[in-house]
Amino acid sequence: MMIERPTVRIFLWIQAVLLLWWAAFYPGLFSRDSVLYLSHTIVGPWVSDHSVLYDALLWLSVKATGAVSPVTLLQTTGMALAISLLAQELKGLGAPRLPTTLAAVLLPFAPPFGAFSVTFWKDVPFTACVIGITAVCARIARDRGPTRGTLVALGAVMLGAGLFRANGFMVVGIVVLALMIIGKGARLGLAAVGLGAAAVPVLLTNLVLPQVGIVPPSRTFVYHTAYGDIAVAWKERTDLFTTQDVALMAEIAPLERWWRGGNCNTINPLIWRGDFDWRRSDELSPQVMALWQRILVEAPDQVIRTRLCRGAIAWRPGADRWSEGGATYHFSSRWFAWEYVGPDMIERHPELESFNLSPLSWPLHDVADQWLDASFAPDLDWLVWRGPIWCYAAYVALALAAWLRGNRWVLGIAAAMLGQQLAVLANISAQDFRYMASPIFIGFLMLPLLVRFWRAGRG
């Protein structure tokens, strides 16, 4: 994929704006997860419950420079490159050049994009990869089929998605399946690329990483959404449980905890509480999964309703902010790493203080912080912080473009967004905006395409 000169100018503009966000929230916004990404690589044992690649980038940054800020700096570059490339490919498909350029250069001013790009989350490079997948699919649509170059590019960004998020292989699978359905003649090449991109992260996690001392994630962490399903069923359908089931659950946590954790919006009130015994849970996980499987067989509607509720961030435009855990989660707002891991941990491992906020410009920080806070207005949530409405707008735009241009490959541009929606519906833990960030950015960039082809369709 050749980068055109106007695309370079768009990239440089986006990069410049994102550097302002970087300076305002230097070294970057962070959460408890962010600190844990680094802490377990320093304290040990190194665990693959999150992205080992992202953990390694943080570890390498601290060891090489004594700071974590290079990671967020790289994130701004990755996000700027992904958006500028997608804008280039959409223009090649008929999106109006000036409006698409304006959409691209305005996007970094939006808090969901700007603040997100400078946050220590593995979801940021994952999102850049999903946008990159969409850009490559747009180039495939321009060429009316994959070439050797686009297959290589597609494999690279799909591999990145799989390495930065554990469920990235689901997005890869949907993209490859959609493209194989669309294009009969390219199925072998697409299958090979998709299989490689999906298999490498799985093989690394299960075969390679344990050989170098990186511990696989705990069973409770892997199956935590199933635990959430059981908790909701316990609260709503106690008739599904036998005496043996109840005894099993009581060994892991008090029954009161299971009842309180029966929240279909989030699994946090169940497993992230002091009276939930993770050690015992790991030991009994085979029995717990057998219980979940029985509930799934006996009352599939119960599990489906729970998953639809927990995965609402993927399909419902508005948040259920009146119920516990139903509001959209944006960012953590703490300033110091010790607030997440405690002062004793910081005293023993001062490297973790590299996360502490230290803005390079206080006036810039004040402006950015106020702008970010203003975007949290509840009435803006469905538009600014949730992806579904942007998915649906993009689907309409691409369907119209495919119909009016007589190019079925255009439909494949939607595959990454669809894959992300389905992955979140299948297995997600809470109503976090970051899980569906890419459709917001992709959908916004497609607005000019939607307007042009909507008008053409009506004409």
Question: How confident is the model over 99-128, as pLDDT tens digits?
Answer: 999 999 999 999 999 999 999 999 999 999
Looking at the predicted structure, is the pLDDT value of residue 418 above 90? yes
Looking at the predicted structure, is the pLDDT value of residue 427 above 90? no
Residue 2 pLDDT grade (very low, low, confident, very high; cuts 50, 70, 90) = low
Looking at the predicted structure, is the pLDDT value of residue 248 above 80? yes
Looking at the predicted structure, is the pLDDT value of residue 268 above 80? yes
Q: State the average pLDDT over residues 352-381.
A: 92
CA–CA separation, 159 and 448 (whole Å): 30
SS3 call for 45: coil
Average pLDDT, the chain: 89
Residue 366: per-residue pLDDT: 95
Residue 105: per-residue pLDDT: 95
Residue 188: per-residue pLDDT: 83
CA–CA separation, 155 and 419 (whole Å): 16
Residue 320: per-residue pLDDT: 80
Looking at the predicted structure, is the pLDDT value of residue 459 above 60? no
Half-sphere exposure of 417 (CA within 13 A, CB side): 29
Looking at the predicted structure, is the pLDDT value of residue 392 above 90? yes
Residue 97: per-residue pLDDT: 92
For the segment 171-219, what is each residue's pLDDT rounded down to a tens digit? 888 999 899 888 877 888 888 888 888 888 888 887 888 887 888 888 8
Q: Are 358 and 30 in contact (CB under 8 A)?
A: no
Residue 109: per-residue pLDDT: 96
CA nearest 334: which of 25, 72, 18?
A: 25
Residue 45: per-residue pLDDT: 79
Six-digit token string for 423 = 């992955």
* Inter-CA distances, 38 with 33, 120, 329, 371, 378, Å: 9, 10, 22, 29, 33
Q: State the average pLDDT over residues 428-433.
A: 88
Domain ranges for the chain, please list them: 5-211+369-458, 219-310
Residue 457: per-residue pLDDT: 62
Write out the E strands in 48-89: none
